[in-house]
Amino acid sequence: MNKATYNGWTNYATWRINLEIFDGLDRCYGMDGWTAEYAKQYVEDYINETSSGLARDYALAFISDVNWDEIAAHYQEETV
C-alpha cells in the first residue's frame, strides 16, 4: 500500500496546520515540551475563538485529519 504524503508531512491537513498555525510560533513562544494533545487543544481553542457556525464546524472537521504526533515530534526535534 502506498502511503501518500504532502510536502514531507503525513497529509495536507498536517502540513497546512503546521504552516498556518505553528510555523513561526515556535520562534516567538517556543514549542519545546508541547505534546500532541496540547498542540491539538491550542488549535481547537484558536478555531473556537476566531470562528463560529459553519466555518467553525468545517475547520474542526479539517483538523480531524491532522497528525498531531508528527507536529509535536517535529518541534521536539528542533529543540534537541
Q: Is residue 32 part of a domain?
A: yes
Q: Is residue 64 part of a domain?
A: yes
Which domain, by its residues, includes 34? Answer: 12-79
Which SS3 state, helix, strand or coil, does residue 20 take?
helix
- pLDDT at 5 (0 to 100): 86
Q: Is residue 2 part of a domain?
A: no
Q: Indicate the pTM of the whole model.
A: 0.85
More confident residue, 36 or 1: 36
Residue 4 has pLDDT above 60, yes or no: yes
Share the mean pLDDT of the chain: 89
Residue 27 has pLDDT above 90, yes or no: no
Instruction: Read off the pLDDT of each residue in 51-69 and give the average, rounded to a whole number.
Output: 98
Number of folded domains in the chain?
Answer: 1
Q: How far is CA 36 from CA 21, 27, 57, 71, 76, in A?
A: 14, 18, 21, 7, 11
Phi/psi at 7 (5° precision): 50, 40
